[in-house]
Amino acid sequence: MAKRTSYCGQVSKALLGQEVVLKGWVQKRRDLGDLIFIDLRDREGIVQVVFNPVFSKEALETAENIRNEYVIEVRGKVVERSEGMANKKIATGELEIEVSEVTVLNKAKTPPFYIEDDLNVADDLRLKYRYLDLRRPEMTKNILLRHQITKSVRQYLDQQDFIDIETPYLTKSTPEGARDYLVPSRVHPGHFYALPQSPQLFKQLLMGAGFDRYYQIVRCFRDEDLRGDRQPEFSQIDIETSFLEPKDIQDFTEEMLANVLKDTKGIELKKPFPRMTYAEAMNRYGSDKPDIRFAMELVNVNECVKEAGFKVFTSTIENGGMVKAINAKGAATHYSRKDIDALGEFVGIYGAKGLAWMKVEEDGLKGPIAKFFKEGAENLIKAMNAEAGDLLLFVADQEKVVHESLGALRVKLGKELDLIDPSVFAFLWIVDWPIVEYDEDEKRYTAMHHPFTMPREEDLALLENAPEKVLAQAYDIVLNGYELGGGSMRIHQREIQEKMFEVLGFTKESAEEQFGFLLNALEYGFPPHGGIAIGLDRFVMLLAGEDNIREVIAFPKNGRAIDPMAEAPSVVSQKQLEELSIRTTEIEEDE
Amino acid sequence: MAKRTSYCGQVSKALLGQEVVLKGWVQKRRDLGDLIFIDLRDREGIVQVVFNPVFSKEALETAENIRNEYVIEVRGKVVERSEGMANKKIATGELEIEVSEVTVLNKAKTPPFYIEDDLNVADDLRLKYRYLDLRRPEMTKNILLRHQITKSVRQYLDQQDFIDIETPYLTKSTPEGARDYLVPSRVHPGHFYALPQSPQLFKQLLMGAGFDRYYQIVRCFRDEDLRGDRQPEFSQIDIETSFLEPKDIQDFTEEMLANVLKDTKGIELKKPFPRMTYAEAMNRYGSDKPDIRFAMELVNVNECVKEAGFKVFTSTIENGGMVKAINAKGAATHYSRKDIDALGEFVGIYGAKGLAWMKVEEDGLKGPIAKFFKEGAENLIKAMNAEAGDLLLFVADQEKVVHESLGALRVKLGKELDLIDPSVFAFLWIVDWPIVEYDEDEKRYTAMHHPFTMPREEDLALLENAPEKVLAQAYDIVLNGYELGGGSMRIHQREIQEKMFEVLGFTKESAEEQFGFLLNALEYGFPPHGGIAIGLDRFVMLLAGEDNIREVIAFPKNGRAIDPMAEAPSVVSQKQLEELSIRTTEIEEDE
C-alpha cells in the first residue's frame, strides 16, 4: 500500500497540480463509457475522482468493476473541474482527481440501506449495521464533534490544574437512587458488584484524599425504564473540587462550556450565564429546566378570575389551587377547536383535568367560557399582555399539576409555533433547590439531588423539623430546555451527613451499613468540597442538533436495551452461570 | 473562605515577602510553647507555616488545638527561613510562612496509620482507608503521574488526527479469551450482558465505519484468578488504524511512548526501538518479554556437552531435548551449595527436573558434575564466555521447559546480582509471533494473540494444514521485562477470518453465532486495518518505579477482588435478584 497523502475531504486548492494518494469508500459511481466518475468518501468528506483512458487505461478498466462501498486507493493529480461542473454542496466541489493508478483494497456487497444523510429506515436496521450507519456523513460528523467536545473539555480542565482520575466500575450496590446493574462475583458466591450510577462517592473521597481538583469523563450505568434520550450506559463530565464556593464552580463550568462552544461552533457565549431560582423557574416556566429561547411565560391569573363566576376556576382557587395561563401570541387562527381539544388531551398526560381557552379578538375575548369574563376581560387581557389574534390557554389545579402541564404545553407550543431559534444556545443556572421532596408512594422524604448535598448554612436549623423548607447549595445547568448537568456543595461533616440520612428515613444502622465508609472518612480531615456533573451525551446531542442521544453514541442500545448488532444481552452457557453460583429463575426463548 | 493563592508545594522564592493564602492538611506540628511550626501539606507538596504571637496571638491560640490531618486555611507572609534551618528534603525547604490568620476548616481523628512514605502496614488496611493512603506523598505522586501520562498520550494522538471514541461496556459474552464478567438483564430475563475484556471488535468495526484512526483510554474487565499485577478491571490505551503497515503503527507508538517519557521523566529515548523476533527472544532470553537491560543470555551447549558422558544431558539431547546454560558472571562466591539448591527449587516451578551447575576457577570447572567435563571444559568455557569466578547454571529438558525455567532464573539472578539499572527504560518490539499454539488440555489450537490477527501473507497457504508454522503480523511491545502492549494487523476478509475460526476449532455455526456480525461486516467494504493496545496501569507502574499496579490505581481491589473500603462485592436484596430473574445457588455468610 502507498501512503495516503491527504484525506479525500481535505483536498484543497493548495494541492492543485500535485499528485495525491487517497483511500476511501466509493460513495457513487457514474459510468459514461470511456469516462468514469467516482465520489470517493472518507471520514473528512468527499472528493470526485475521474477515470479516463487519457490518464490511465488500466485504471479505467479496473474502475469498470468497482461498485458502491468498495474500498479503493487512488493515485492521481489534483485539477480544477471544468467550467460549470463545480459542486457547491461539498467542500472539494471545485476540484477533482485525474486518476493514474487505482487499487481495490476490498470489495463490498450492496449495503442494506443507502450510505447518505436523511435516511429513513427502521432504527434497529441502522443499529444492526451500525458500522454502515456510522459511514453516513451526518453520523461521522456527530462522532467527530463528540471528540472535539471532549478534547476541548480536557484541554480546559488540564490547564486549570484538574487531575483526571479513574474510579472503579466494579463497586458496591447502593439502593438510594435508580436501579443498579449488578455483576455476580465468582470468587465470592452470593455477592455482587454494582456498576456505578455515578462516581459520586469516589469523587468525594478523592477530595478527602487531597486531590483538590478532579475530573473524569466517565461511564455511568442506570437500569431504568428507557425513554427517548436515556441509555443503560451514558457518559458524564464529572468534576469535583475542594475549598471553592458555588460561584467559583459555576464560573469555571461556564468557562469550560463557553470554550467548547467556541472551539466547536465558533460561538462566543455571554458570561456569566443567567441564574434563576428553582422557585422562579417553576413559577414563570412551569419547569425546573426552562427553555428560555422563547417567552410565553406562565401567568398566575387568580386575581383576574377568582370572582368571574366560572366555577372550575373559583372552586380550584378556593381549594388552595391556582389558575395559570399562557398566551400563544398570534396563534388564535392556528388552532381550531379540534386542535385545542388535542392540546387538552396533551395536558391530561400531566394530570390536568382540562384546558380552558379563550381567543382574543378586536372586540374582546371569544370562546365557550368567554361569557364569564365579560367584566374582567380588560384585566385579564392586560395581565396576559394579550392582543387581538392571541390564544390564551388556562389550567386550574393544584400547583404541581398546573406547572407540569402548562410547562409541557409551553414547550410544545414553542415548537409548533416555531418560536425557537435553533442556532441559539441558551444556558441557564437553576439555583436554590429544595433539598428534599416528599414521596407520596414511599411516604418519606427523598433527596432532590442526592443524599450528600449540602443544605444552605442558614437553613441547617430547619433540617430536623421542616426539611421541606430547607434549600440546598445546589445548582443545575440547563441548556435549551434540557437539564445539562447538576452540581452542589457536598456535606463534609459527619453530624450533618448523619442528620441528612435520618431525614431520608435511614436508621443509624442502615446508614452505617451502606455509607459507613463515607461517614468514617468525614472524620479524618475532610475538606469543604463540591462539584458538578455534565451529561456528555446530551451536550453533544444539543450541539449536533439531534434529538436523541443515540445519534451521538457510536454503539448505543435500542429502546429495549438491546444491541441488535452484537446481539447483547444474550443467553450464556450453563457453565458460566455455575461458575458464578447463580441460576436464572425464568428462561425465555430467544426473542 | 478566602481564595487560595498558591498550592503549599508550590510556594517559591518568587513569592518572597508576599502574602499568601494556603489550604491543606497538617502533616506535623511542633509546639515550642509560644512558637508553633506546622508542616502544611497539599497535593503539590509541603510548606512550613509558623505561628508566633508576634505575627498573631489569635492564630497561635488556634494553632494550639490543631492536630495532625486537620484541614486548615492560613494567611501569612512568605519569608526565608533563618540561617541553618533549611530543610533540603522538600522543595519549599528554604521558605516558611509567618501566619497572620488561621481557620480550621475541618477536624480529624487520629488516622489508623501515618500519612508518610515507606508505610509498613497491611495492604487491606491501606485499602480500607484508601482516602488516607492516597494522601501519602508517594501515592499522590503516582496518581498525578498517571494523569500526566494520559495527558501526554492524548495530546500526541489528538495531534495525529486520532479520534477518541467510546465503545460500550454492556456488550456480548464471547467465550474465546478469559472469563467474562456478566451482567444480568432485567428487561430480558435469562439474558446477560458481558463487560468487555477489550473493545477489540468494536474498534475493528469503527475501522469498518471509516473512522480510520481511533483511540480510547478504556476500562477492560477479566474475571481471572488474580496475581501480583492483575486487577479485575484495568485500563488500556486502545488504538486502531486503517490503511497503515505494521511499521507505521510501530512508528507512531514509539513516538507516543517517547513523548510520554520526555514529558514525565525528561528522558529522550532512542528511536527506532530495537526489534527482535519471537524465536530469537525465546532462544536468547527464554522469554517473549525479555528484560534487555542486562545480558546473561541463554546459551545452547548441546554441542559441548552431548559427548561428555553426563547421562542427564546426553539422554535429554537424544530424546529431542536440549541443554542450555546461563553464566552468572562473578557470582561463584555469591552462591553457596544451599543457595544453588534453592535456585534448583525455583526452576522446579517451571517444570525443570533439576538445575546443574559448575563454578569456574583459575584451574578449570568445579562442582559435582565437573568430572564429566574434564575434556570439553575449554569449549564450554568458551561457549559460555566464562572466566574464573563465574557460576554456570544448566537446564536440560524439552525446549519449552528449558526456556521458561532458565528465562525466569535469568530474571531472578539479574535482580539478585544487581545487574539492572532502574533508571533505564528499555523498550523492545517482539515480532513474527506464531499465530496459534497447541493447547494440550483443550486438544486444539488457540490463538496466540486473538482470533482476529492477520497471518503473514506468505504464510496464508499454510493456514489449513500447518497452522503452527504460520507467523502472525503481530508485534508486542516490551518494557523492562514486562509485556507493555500487544498489536497486530487484523483480518479484513471474510474468507480468511472463517478459515481462522476453523483452525481454532469453531464450527461454521458456532463462528456465525458468536462472531456473525463481524463476518458480515467484513463483506461490506472493510479496510485493511491494525492497531495496538498498551496496558496503562503497567506503564504507569513502571514509570513510577512501583512493582504492583495497585500502587497506581486510585481505588483498586485487593488480592481477593474485594474493595475493603466500599465493601464490594456485597450481598444484595432479594428484591434486586427477583427483578433480575436470578437466584444465587450458594449463599455464604459474610466473610
Q: How far apart are the CA of B129 and the nearest CA of chain A, in angstroms?
A: 8
| Residue-wise pLDDT tens digits, A74-99 | 999 999 999 889 998 889 999 999 99
Statement: residue A175 has pLDDT above 80: no
Q: Which of A151-155, A223-227, A459-463, B69-73 has the lowest mean pLDDT?
A: A223-227
Residues of A in contact with B24 (CB under 8 A): 210
> Which among A4, A171, A219 has the least Cβ separation from residue B169?
A219
> Tell me, what's the pLDDT at B586?
66
- What percent of chain A clears pLDDT 90, i.e. is strictly above it? 91
d(CA B491, CA B479): 27
For residue A295, give how far its alpha carbon lies from the nearest alpha carbon of chain B (Å).
Answer: 38
Looking at per-residue pLDDT, the higher value among A144 and B441 belongs to A144
Question: Between chains, do B168 and A243 touch, taking CB under 8 Å as contact?
Answer: no
A209–chain B nearest CA distance, Å: 4
Q: Which residue intervals of A417-563 are DSSP H helices? A: 494-503, 508-521, 536-544
Q: Is the pLDDT of residue B590 over 50?
A: no
Q: How confident is the model at residue B308 (pLDDT cuts 50, 70, 90)?
A: confident
Which A residues, 177 through 216, put their C-beta within 8 Å of a C-beta on chain B?
179-195, 201-202, 205-206, 208-212
In chain A, what are the domains? 8-106 (2.40.50.140), 294-420 (3.30.1360.30), 434-471+493-526 (no CATH)
Q: Is B361 helix (H, G, I), strand (E, B) or coil?
A: strand
- Which residue among B3, B134, B150 sits closest to A164, beta carbon to beta carbon? B150
Nearest to B109 among A186, A235, A524 (CB): A524
Please tell me whether B231 is known to bind a ligand.
yes
pLDDT at B588 over 60: no
Closest-CA distance of chain B to residue A38, Å: 15
Find where cell 382540562 sits. A354
> Is A554 an 8 Å CB contact of chain B?
yes
What percentage of chain B carries pLDDT values higher than 90? 91
Give the distance, in angstroms, between the CA of residue B298 and the centroid of all CA atoms in the same chain: 25
| Residue B221, beta-bridge partner list | B233
Find, among A588, A551, A530, the residue nearest to A240 by Cα. Answer: A530
Question: Rounded CA gap, A276 and A564, in Å?
Answer: 43
pLDDT at B332 over 60: yes
Mapping DSSP onto H, E and C, the string for A206-246 reads HHHCCCCEEEEEEEEECCCCCCCCCCCEEEEEEEEEECCCH
Please enumerate, by residue number, every residue of A annotated as part of a binding site. Answer: 176, 222-224, 231, 449, 483, 490, 535-538
Closest CA of chain B from A158, distance in Å: 8
Residue A242, chain B, CB below 8 Å: the answer is: yes
Q: How far is CA A296 from the centre of its chain?
A: 23
Count Cβ–Cβ pairs < 8 Å, chain A vs chain B. Answer: 374
Is the predicted pLDDT of residue A227 greater than 80, yes or no?
no
What is the structure's pLDDT at A586?
66
The yes-or-no verdict on residue A590 having pLDDT over 50 is no
Strand partners, B102: B74
* B376 or B566, greater pLDDT: B566
B570 in contact with chain A, both atoms CB, cutoff 8 A? yes
> Where does the pLDDT of residue A587 fall: very low under 50, low under 70, confident under 90, or very high at 90 and above?
low
Contact A135 B105 (CB under 8 A): no
Q: What is the ipTM of this complex?
A: 0.95
Q: Cα–Cα distance between A180 and A174 in angstroms, integer?
A: 8
Angle B577-B580-B584 from CA coordinates, rounded to 5°: 40
A525:B106 CB<8 A? yes
What is the structure's pLDDT at B177? Answer: 76
* pLDDT tens-digit series, residues B9-33: 999 999 999 999 999 999 999 999 8
Q: What is the pTM of this model?
A: 0.96
Interface of A with B in 140-179 (CB under 8 A): 140, 143-144, 146-147, 150-151, 154, 158, 163-173, 175, 179
Residues 6+ apart with CB under 8 A from A25: A40, A41, A42, A69, A70, A71, A72, A108, A115, A135, B210, B525
pLDDT for B564 beyond 60 = yes
